[in-house]
Amino acid sequence: MNEDELMHYGKMGMKWGKKGSSSKSSAAVKKGVSNAISRITSKNKKGPNSTDHANVASIKGKKMSTLSNAQLRMFNERVQLEKTYKTLKADRGATRAGSKFVKDMLLGSAKQAAGAYVTKNMSSALASVLSKATTA
């Protein structure tokens, strides 16, 4: 090999500058599923886990091809329930923000109404006191 030759050490049909095929391999997909399972099962570290959570955690290290339909169904159901719970929990925060907004608006309106009432009655009371003082 002399210095004028250019050698390509990649796989046959591989494009220059590419590190691998454009589609994900099944190993990468399985790894992604495994990572998703571990993220789901390791979120709650605050207290003892439920038996359902423990069952899903025991599934996480297994290959999908070795799981029974019941195990896959249990895992799917758990993931869907956790997703629904997170959505409801987020909605509850939005409800709190809405409640706070309404409460602040009502409180502001009540303060304005009370201020207007006091101003009106104080001015009439002051006028009557002044009229009595000037006639006396």
Interval 92-119: pLDDT, tens: 666 777 788 888 999 999 999 999 888 8
Task: Select the more confidently predicted residue: 75 or 5.
Answer: 75
pLDDT of residue 75: 87
pLDDT of residue 99: 82
- 39 contacts 78 by C-beta, under 8 angstroms: no
Q: Averaged over 42-68, what is the pLDDT?
A: 75
Cα(38)–Cα(59) distance, rounded to whole angstroms?
Answer: 10
Prediction pTM value:
0.35
Confidence band (pLDDT; 50, 70, 90) for 48? low
How far is the CA of 128 from the CAs of 21, 98, 111, 117, 125, in angstroms? 92, 45, 26, 17, 5
pLDDT of residue 57: 81
pLDDT of residue 112: 92
pLDDT of residue 113: 92
Name the token pair of 5. Answer: 């030759």
Confidence band (pLDDT; 50, 70, 90) for 45? low
